[in-house]
Structure 1
């Protein structure tokens, strides 16, 4: 007897392909197997419904699994006879693999998708019933994992019902978001009921749960952290302290009830970090304590968060009193003196989650350019500015507030309509992305199958990937354009006296808007804008196009005023250059990067002002990549040759100075390249140190050639000796920072037959000339040559012969000198002499058998004395990145002690680089991998902080700022932290852990 599948295959496969199945062969086999097994004859109506889903293959898999899990005729009959049931079920299965898994585990839940099925009713009452509590949430409930699983099953049943209506287009995206927020509120109420069963004496207090963020604004996602704040008060007859203890236990138990993992998974994380003082503050406060905090201590971002506050669970009377007390304070926020700085910090906090280095910005629905945050931040800032006087603007829901802003004339009608359309589109895409696996994500998939599923779910045919991608990018561009326009374009007519805006701001109003965006000197900012945009020249016209956007980018940077001032100076220097403004206008990334670095880094700004043409290097990551050392050497040596060995005539008296001037300009340009890459997060900490070392080495090597040329011209003879420069310290470790001196030692070796005294004088003359050439006044950061690590320090000769070094180390060398030689790298000068010096010092720094215990004790004593004597007086030890506990010195001395003890036997330890030494120690079993990771993390963070301090301030420092709030905030921003407190907490945590490793490994606390 023939196989009916074989007979039907060609026609069925063709039909499946037309319906949108991608693996038609597999789908056909599954259908045939189901029919043979009697599981389900898939009729025309059901096949058409599957073909109408976002992912027919996924829907088919889910349907067949569900039919296996739900034996009996009811489901099959409903699929045949109820078109709406069929549509809801298949569309859910075609989008959400997670809800398909839920249906397979709880097959009866498909009924919530039926035509005319019994309504689920009020979510609060339904979830309370699921956990065994009555509608008042006062009855005790069962305890243990069973009740938590019951809550999750009931929650997902309602989520399934909502998704069915959503995916069939029965609900607007705003209605879906509101329903999700109400469902989350109901789950919190049920969680509180569970908590009451766990906490004895729970009736000692009243507890209200205040929803924040999207939950409070009734615009929640399918999967999101639920932000809350807890407020409590004692009931009559109970003390406040005791009541707060009980309330805290209730709040913690409520959070666990929603967040804990069970066989049915968890609901979502309950996040109370938006409470006063964040995670460092008490979980629960009284109403009076909340009010006192917001009246006295709160930051503007906290008032922004309170825009969406709403009582969602617990005692309704207490929740209402909370809103009555807090709401008036919110709308007075813009009157505070710190409003400008707080708005600035608020903007950074909103975008802090996005790691621009990973490339995720291009896939981000939430934080990327033109994403949801652009809409929400625009609406919320306008609410804070204008909502003080206009109460119609105080809705916690983005779309409602946007509508009121348009109605009141604060946003143009067309712009408001475009923003609302884009916001709905982006939220719908966000919902679809999250429904697939019921995971918290805001990233658009980067695979074709995921993009195809999104496009089909949105009804985009016949090329869903291309159509979806195009529509998403179009909506994002529209959001970004309007976002920029709302904040910045109204300022320009006021300052440039241009027509075109129907509601022109007065200079006073423009000044107030600049203050709201973070400009500390709005009057000065207005003068800069006026100077840049005044007149009818092409230059002024392009500036009027650029500035609305760039003002916002300056506001995103730590110091908007400095950014705008720097921009004016660079524009004054390059404004008549044809390519400059055209580059900024046509290459958005150049303008954005320029705004960020001008508003973030005095160091980079100073470099740019000295060579404004370096703006051209901002165009791409490739242009900002550090250049190879060989390429730098070739350019620097060519400059030296041009000036010291001209084709015709004798070199001028200033030839060496001119040559080194060109080399220092090259260094200045390369420092700018590295600084910008660092500021933009395009270079890791090791890459920055290596690049700065290469730049210094090439500069010194070129200056050495110029110095040799000058000495030879002065004596009329060729140099009678070979000479080399040995890099020491951070220079030798290839770990230079922006403000580091170049620690060096000079070594020479007389040529055969040369007079040793004459050779010594010549070598000394070259070394002195090299130092002089590099210390001449010039418009670039200094490169100080520090030779004080040489034998005998300042008392010893500046230059020694190779034989002299050998004699000294053989007779006088101390353990600390062997330790210092661990960082010695002969980088510069005669190659043979460099190798000879390396061969000389290797037995000293990597001694056969390792250093003895007496030397180890001496090194430990020296380290302890350094800790007690070298730290500056009056500074917080814990904030000193170099000498503080767990700082750079701690980590480096651990690595160096391991090298002194074991490098003779472990060749991989014979390196001058700290992190490489730690890795080698792990590989040799000398250091636990976890300990090495702790040390490396502390070292990298301390190094990044030192670099950022130099970038921000324009001068070097080893001390994390503790008093200058603006400077500390700027450093935190450059390092990618939401705020200075986050940086401080992370640094102290990492260095505290590192110090523990130092105590054990270096000082032998565990021996």
Structure 2
């Protein structure tokens, strides 16, 4: 052969996927000579091999022993392609054919179809000469014949698998065929075992043939064998059930003794080391009591064990149980007897956490060196899919028999159809599971050995990629690189882990699992009585709402039927379950067929329970959620319940102004922002994401942005372009000025303008028009915003708006002490920045006098006394009034403000409109003790929380702590007390207020 010819051959071999070019070129030449097939034809067919170097070496080795069968195969078009595929993917089959060259001819007819279960069972029985349950002989020869026959069957399955146009899709059929083959092998081995224990040839216990014939041995497939999802080389999990033929005169002990020896010999025929290597491990450790338990039990003994002693994991294992081999009727009786127990197991106390803990233990036992390479046990591996699917089945299968199936992929389809898992997640899980199983199959084919580890060298990864058939659309080529398979593996692993974590650990599973047996039946008198018993006041209406939500065969109705029993229980744990259910129905109807809504409630960590808590515990939230139903999505993440910053909201409001030029359109959108953000804050407050300071700051920010946007829109409409030199501003006062507003609080403000170049009377008219239009613009019947200007000079009697000069003149000549006190909480809010600055400079001169007048201090004290006596509503217990009552907000704020009025002129740290910040500064200035400051702060915080909680609960504003225990309990729950804490929250307020009042009385009148 010339050098150019040799180079051409090497180039062709490289393109076909060969790596050892020189050695393989020589092997191709030898194979051509032994088989009589042209070198070019061999190199062309070799393109389909995952490992063409290994394939040619296997073909040459077999041909050296017996060239005839190799010649027959390689001269046949289909046979040649099949041979290259099988031997290129499996050195194990190369070794098998080296031991038995004649069976290479099996490749002539392999690949087109999968062998069916009956054909495999017949073929393997014939291999041992089975007649009436007994083999023709026993011992090594019989077992070797069985194993050779099994491997011939296995090679035909592999040929079909490796030839499939879509190997990922073919995985399910291949796994099913492998499971049937295992059952056939066990049947044939059992026949040998019967013969073995009936003779003296093996030195085993000898039993009369008729006794052996009378004993039944049912072999129940567990795990993958039971689910018809077996691998090429995998432990076959079994449970043995012993029995006897009707009328047989055998004692129970005889039955156990004979069936135990039958089981042992059956396992030996499959798993022991003989001339022909073992097939796989027969694993009976899933039997009652595991390795410590009897290998074989009677059906009655099995049932008694499961009824009394079985652990939760054993029922999970029984989910896959199937009559696999031996006496089918006896094995099926075992499956039928244990099946009801399987579907009741999830109601056991702690079942779901125990399954979750078991999955974690599996992960914990993986060696560190293998964790990242584990296809089966590692994060994102097969076990993540299988555990997730099994847990969903066991939980929902309690009440829904449509999901009671063995196979993982079948179960996924059913869980998806019934709405227990989303379509996208189910589709991803199913595809990823097939890919993981395909990778596992190809790895096991290489040596016909049990393995679940991804290779860690590039050459083996390249061979694996080519063997999968996933990366080259050309059916005449095995393509793919190491990088291809690694990227796919990493993507699948990440996707599987993400879905597993979301579904496997979702709280709804635990809740569904612990439902009572009748919880899923939500109609009829029993349901009516049960709803009334758990707390629904109008059970008849509740049933009507439930029916509207769950009626029909749509996917939406199916998911609602799954959610409803659990959510009803959570609604019932709330303060007002009837309202909660009504609000939930309205929100569900508003969202219609939005796919994310029910999917999130079903899959999200705690979203469903949070929603029931909100709706049954807060009318304020419920009413707003009806207007903004998409807010349910925020429950999927605490981050979405955190307040938006001023900058973010202001930018959104400014964008609205640009898009919507009219005042009406702009304010409709701004009101929408305000409602949305108030709802976000309310939800965050109730579910515990936000503190009281977060809440007051958030509501203040929302109000600031609303007023700024409204003022901008109103000015644009009221003031013509030629008079835009007029400046207008809004000053926050009272609790709003202190950035301490709660839900339902008034918005105290002052209005100020500066005429600029505008004639004075026209400027005043513009200013009044701005105020009037502003109040109209922000008006919102759903969540009112009351712009209260009563803290302006002269109160209600004074003009609603003044120029800056008029304010200056008034404060310099006429101002009284309460007006200076009111300015202590003044804060710039909206409008012209220069005007805001100038007003605040003026306010500082008034509110922070260098030397407070004794008369002013005395007047403030006198007014406070009048407020207590004159403003308390009639018929209200003063101790329950959170604002004006003893130790309430008024006591704390007036005390702090009086200290500020007296000392802030000389102490800049006291100059703040915020009560708590001022209180801290008062303590730092040694004007109150630490204990006094803590006591006042505690009362102020609790009163603020109680006021907001009352508004959230009822949807109405009130300053009075309710006397109704139901309302008090609702307030307590919003404040994160446990259920039934009405008396506790009442007592805490009265106790805290009493302490604050003592501090007030000890200090206020001595200043």
Structure 1-normalised TM-score? 0.51
Decide whether the 8 Å contact of 1:824 with 1:912 is kept in 2: yes
Shift of the alpha carbon at 1:817?
0.8
3-state secondary structure, aligned to 1:1003: helix
Q: Which residue of 2 aligns with 1:344?
A: none
**Offset, 1:491:** 3.8
In the alignment, which residue of structure 2 is the partner of 1:967?
967
The match for 2:670 is 663
Is contact 2:345–2:351 with CA below 8 Å preserved after alignment?
no
Alpha-carbon distance between aligned partners in 1 of 2:681 and 2:926, rounded to the nearest angstrom: 36
Shift in Å at residue 461 of structure 1? Answer: 8.9
| Cα distance in 2 for residues equivalent to 1:816 and 1:468 | 71
Aligned to 1:800, which of 799, 802, 812?
Answer: 802
- Counterpart of 1:558 in structure 2 is 575
Q: Please tell me whether the aligned partners of residues 887 and 1000 of structure 2 are also in contact (alpha carbons under 8 angstroms).
A: yes
Per-residue CA shift, 1:681-730, capped at 9, x if unaligned? 111111111111111111111111111111135xx633341111011111
Q: 1:697 aligns with which of 692, 704, 709?
A: 704
Q: Deviations over 1:817-876 (max 9, x none)?
A: 111000111211000110000001102111103x23332222112111111111111111
Question: Are the structure 2 counterparts of residues 459 and 580 from structure 1 closer, same or farther at C-alpha, using a change threshold of 3 Å?
Answer: closer
Other structure's SS at 2:866 match: helix
Matches within 5 A, 1:580-591: 580-591=597-608
Q: Distance in 2 between matches of 1:696 and 1:990?
A: 30
Q: Determine the C-alpha separation between the residues in 2 that align with 1:861 and 1:1002.
A: 11
| Corresponding position of 1:744 | 749
Q: Provide the residue aligned with 1:422 in structure 2.
A: 350
State the shift of 1:421 in Å.
7.0
Query: In structure 2, which of residues 674, 684, 694 is the aligned counterpart of residue 677 of structure 1?
Result: 684
Distance of aligned partners of 1:868 and 1:812 in 2 relative to their CA distance in 1, 3 Å threshold: same
Give the 3 Å change call, closer, same or farther, for CA 422–711 of structure 1 in structure 2: closer
Q: CA deviation at 1:482?
A: 5.2
Contact residue 489 and residue 548 of structure 1 kept, 8 A: no
Quote the residue 1:631 is aligned against: 648
Instruction: Name the counterpart of 2:858.
Output: 857
Q: How far, CA to CA, are the matches of 1:582 and 1:719 in structure 2? A: 53
**Contact 1:485-1:548 within 8 A present in 2 as well:** no
Matching residue of 2:783: 781
Partner Cα distance (1:459, 1:538) in 2: 38
**Following the alignment from structure 1 to structure 2, what is the Cα–Cα distance between the partners of residues 883 and 842?**
27
Pairing 1:104-119 to 2, within 5 Å after superposition: none
Deviation track 1:214-246 (CA, whole Å, cap 9, x = no partner) reads: xxxxxxxxxxxxxxxxxxxxxxxxxxxxxxxxx
Task: Give how far 1:757 is off.
Answer: 1.6
C-alpha change, 1:533 and 1:829, in structure 2 (3 Å) is same
Find the counterpart in structure 1 of residue 829 from structure 2: 827
- Aligned-residue Cα RMSD (Å) equals 3.5
Residue 524 of structure 1 is aligned with which of 530, 534, 541? 541
Secondary structure at the counterpart of residue 935 of structure 1 = helix
Q: Which residue in the other structure is 1:772 paired with?
A: 776
**In structure 1, what is the equivalent of residue 530 of structure 2?**
513
3-state SS of 2:520 partner: helix
The 8 Å contact of residues 488 and 548 in structure 1, kept in 2 or not, is answered as no
Task: Confirm or deny: 8 A CA contact 1:674 1:691 kept in the other structure.
Answer: yes
* CA deviations over 1:164-198 (Å, ceiling 9, x no partner): xxxxxxxxxxxxxxxxxxxxxxxxxxxxxxxxxxx
Q: Given that residues 346 and 352 in structure 2 are in contact (C-alpha distance below 8 angstroms), is that contact kept between their aligned partners in structure 1?
A: no
Distance 1:603 1:946, change over 3 A: same
Give the match's secondary structure for 1:511.
helix
User: Residues 489 and 565 of structure 1: is their aligned pair in 2 closer, same or farther, counting only changes over 3 Å?
Assistant: farther
Determine the C-alpha separation between the residues in 2 that align with 1:701 and 1:459.
Answer: 57
For structure 2, list consecutive stretches of 5 or more residues without a partner in the other structure.
1-311, 313-338, 372-376, 396-503
Instruction: Compute the displacement of 1:556 (Å).
Output: 2.4
Structure 2 residue aligned with 1:935 = 936
Instruction: Indicate if the aligned counterparts of 2:733 and 2:750 stay in contact, CA closer than 8 A.
Output: yes
Aligned to 1:893: 894
- Is residue 851 of structure 2 the alignment partner of residue 923 of structure 1? no
Q: Please show how residues 192-231 of structure 1 align to structure 2 within 5 Å.
A: none
CA–CA distance in 2 between the matches of 1:561 and 1:488?
21
User: What is the alpha-carbon distance in structure 2 between the residues aligned to residue 853 and residue 742 of structure 1?
Assistant: 31
How much does 1:643 deviate?
A: 1.9
Question: Displacement, 1:569?
Answer: 0.7
| Matched position secondary structure for 2:521 | helix
What residue in structure 1 maps to residue 724 of structure 2?
719
Aligned residues of 1:626 and 1:670 also touching (Cα < 8 A): yes
The equivalent of 2:767 in structure 1 is: 763
Provide the secondary structure at the position in 2 that maps to 1:748: strand
Counterpart contact for 2:749–2:789, Cα < 8 Å: yes
Mapped partners of 2:507, 2:341: distance in 1: 14
Unpaired stretches in structure 1, ≥5 consecutive residues: 1-398, 400-410, 430-450, 496-506, 645-654
Counterparts in 2 of 1:149-298, with a 5 A limit? Answer: none
Shift of 1:590: 2.6
Matched-pair contact (CA < 8 Å) for 2:349–2:514: no
Cα distance between partner residues in 1 of 2:770 and 2:736: 20
Alignment of 1:525-544 (within 5 A): 525-544=542-561
Check conservation: 2:768, 2:801, Cα contact below 8 A. Answer: yes
* Structure showing greater Rg: 2
Q: Distance in 1 between matches of 2:875 and 2:771?
A: 38
Q: Does the 8 Å contact 2:729/2:835 carry over to 1?
A: yes
Task: State the Cα distance separating 1:610 from its structure 2 match.
Answer: 1.3
1:548 Cα deviation from its structure 2 partner:
2.4
Matching of residue 577 in structure 1 with residue 594 in structure 2:
yes
In structure 2, do the counterparts of structure 1 residues 510 and 485 end up closer, same or farther at CA, with 3 Å as the change threshold? farther
Aligned to 1:872: 873
| CA distance in 1: counterparts of 2:546 and 2:918, whole angstroms | 52
Q: Distance in 2 between matches of 1:771 and 1:806?
A: 25
Give per-residue Cα distances to partners, 1:729-766, cap 9 Å, x unaligned.
11101011211121111111121x43222222112211
Asked if 2 retains the 8 angstrom alpha-carbon contact of 1:719 and 1:762, the reply is no
Tell me if the contact between 2:735 and 2:748 (Cα under 8 Å) persists in the aligned partners: yes
Aligned to 2:264: none
Residues of 2 paired with 1:488 and 1:809: CA distance? 72
Q: In structure 2, what is the equivalent of residue 989 of structure 1? A: 991
**Kept in 2: contact 1:553–1:596 (CA 8 A):** yes
- Partner residue in 1 for 2:908: 907
Q: Secondary structure at the match of 1:493?
A: coil
Q: Is the 8 A contact 2:531 2:539 kept in 1?
A: yes
SS of the equivalent of 2:762 reads helix
- Counterpart-to-counterpart distance in 2, 1:541 and 1:481: 16
- Asked if 2 retains the 8 angstrom alpha-carbon contact of 1:720 and 1:759, the reply is no
Deviation of the 1:521 alpha carbon? 1.6
Contact 1:744 1:789 in 2 (8 A): yes
Q: Deviation per CA, 1:336-383: give whole Å up to 9, x if none.
A: xxxxxxxxxxxxxxxxxxxxxxxxxxxxxxxxxxxxxxxxxxxxxxxx
Give 1:459 deviation, angstroms. Answer: 12
Distance 1:643 1:915, change over 3 A: same
Structure-2 separation of matches of 1:620 and 1:459:
29
Does the aligned pair in 1 maintain the 2:692–2:941 contact within 8 Å?
A: yes
More moved, 762-771 vs 947-956: 762-771
> Structure 1 552/588 Cα, relative in aligned 2: closer, same or farther at 3 Å?
farther
Q: Secondary structure at the match of 1:957?
A: coil
Give the deviation of 1:877 after TM superposition. 1.0
Structure 1 residues 860 and 779 mapped into 2: Cα distance closer, same or farther (>3 Å)?
A: closer
Distance 1:550 1:966, change over 3 A: same
Kindly state the Cα deviation for residue 984 of structure 1 after the two structures are TM-superposed: 0.7
Query: SS at the partner of 2:515?
Result: helix
Q: Residue 618 of structure 1 aligns with which residue?
A: 635
- Name the CA distance, whole Å, in 2 between partners of 1:932 and 1:788: 30
Contact 2:508 2:606 in 1 (8 A): no
Residue 572 and residue 853 in structure 1: after superposition, are their counterparts in 2 closer, same or farther (change >3 A)?
same
Which of 710, 718, 723 is the equivalent residue of 2:717? Answer: 710
Tell me the secondary structure at the aligned position of residue 1002 of structure 1: helix
1:488, 1:551 within 8 Å by CA — same for their partners in 2?
Answer: no
Shift of 1:612: 1.4
Q: Distance in 2 between matches of 1:611 and 1:950?
A: 19
How many angstroms apart in 2 are the aligned matches of 1:584 and 1:480? 9
